[in-house]
Amino acid sequence: MVEILTFPFMQRALMAGVMIALLLSALGVFVVARRMAFFGDGIAHASLAGIALGLLAGVAPLPIAVAYAVLVALLIYWLERTTPLSSDTIIGILFTASMALGVVLLSLIPGFQPELISFLFGNILTIQTLDIWLVTLLSFAILAWLFTYKRSILFASIDSDSAIVSGIRAKTHTLILYLTLSVSVVLGVKILGIVLVSALLLIPAATSRLLSRSFHAFLVTAIIVGELTVIIGLLLSFLINAPSGAVIILVGTTVFFLTAILTMRARSS
């Protein structure tokens, strides 16, 4: 087992995985609190258009995907406040439109694009040093904001009107939360893929919600669950020679159901 950690690709995978798990697990707490589970999935699938645009232009797809995801997040925020439509409806429209745009753009690219498969299903073992630096820098910036204003963000998430009356800039925090979520989800796409990334945003937070009685415990437990899920999933995927992203999510799902069963039994006894 120890010899696995001597491989450079596994070291890079663990470093990137630990950082993205920390970021998505922490943000997932606020996603669960706001009951906006569809947001992460919508942004992940919408990023296909940005990835396709980058591949078509012959440039690195990740920065283009991040920029496109930010644009989608801004549109969601604006339409939520200027139309009577629900968030889920808006996200569903933008998500499907972006997927359609991505499919059209991909049809214009000649030949097979192996990098596209990596973005669709994730391949953490292909992470490069530059990817680690990008994930680390953005993670520290986002987490610094998150932990500095966590109580204000939570208050704004639960009761926006009361937060505004209390002097909290609820609209600003909500906008920043949308933007940080969009950036974080796209960073996670490189590791887990479009199909699976939203699971790492939700599963650790949902598992933590079953165990926690305070917000601080909710946040800390979600991060611990997320980190353990990624580390165990990565090592297991290497040992059984299976796709890392899928194994990570299966490990997380197993932990969630075991936690749900144990907590239900504890309450009934």
> Per CATH, which fold does 2-268 belong to?
ABC transporter involved in vitamin B12 uptake, BtuC (1.10.3470)
Residues 6+ apart with CB under 8 A from 39: 31, 76, 87, 91, 178, 181
How many angstroms from the chain centroid is the CA of residue 184?
5
Residue ranges, the chain, pLDDT below 50? none
Which pLDDT tens digit goes with each residue over 157-172?
A: 777 777 777 788 888 8
Structure tokens that stand for 242 in this block: 């299976």
Give pLDDT, residue 261. Answer: 92
Question: Residue 50: CA atoms inside 13 Å, Cβ hemisphere, count?
Answer: 28
Give pLDDT, residue 74. Answer: 94
Report H helices in 35-60: 37-57
Q: What angle do CA 146, 152, 154 make, to 5 degrees?
A: 80
Query: Residues 16, 191: contact at Cβ < 8 Å?
Result: yes
